[in-house]
Amino acid sequence: MAAGSLALTALVTVGFQDPENGGIYPPCLSAALGIACPLCGGLRGTHDLLQGDVASMLDHNALIPLYLAVLTALFIGWVWSRVQPIGPRAVRTVQILAIAVVVISVGFGVLRNFIPYLAPAAGA
């Protein structure tokens, strides 16, 4: 309940307070170092998505749909585990999903930072 309330509060804050214009958001350490991490643009993209601007969301960070799909799947799995005990197959599925997201995120980070002519496609 507390995690859900915190997540909803964060979404409402991001929805109303545009990260593009500064505001209450802390500075990004990786941006200060000149590196675009796989999550860079996530706040701006989430704000754009909450405003209904999907094209701008994808421009800020093309992995936001993947992250949203994974978070949704994990939430559904968590709710399902409260209804019915999970077995080893479900645990293995979550492990594979986590490894896939990490591999994709690392590849995305490399694409954003080290292959300049492909960086615009990565939302850099």
- % of the chain with per-residue pLDDT over 70: 93
Q: How far apart are CA 104 and CA 113, in angstroms?
A: 14
Question: What is the model's pLDDT at position 124?
Answer: 53
Question: What is the model's pLDDT at position 91?
Answer: 84
- % of the chain with per-residue pLDDT over 90: 23
Q: Six-digit token pair at 120? A: 């615009």
**Residue position matching structure tokens 């585990």:** 81
Find the domain containing 91 and state its range.
Answer: 2-122
Number of domains in the chain: 1
CA atoms within 13 A on the CB side of 23: 13
pTM: 0.76
The maximal CA–CA distance of the chain, rounded, in angstroms, is 49
CB 66 within 8 A of CB 98: no
| Interval 13-69: pLDDT, tens | 888 888 888 778 888 888 788 888 888 888 889 999 999 999 999 988 889 999 999
**Residue position matching structure tokens 């999550």:** 39
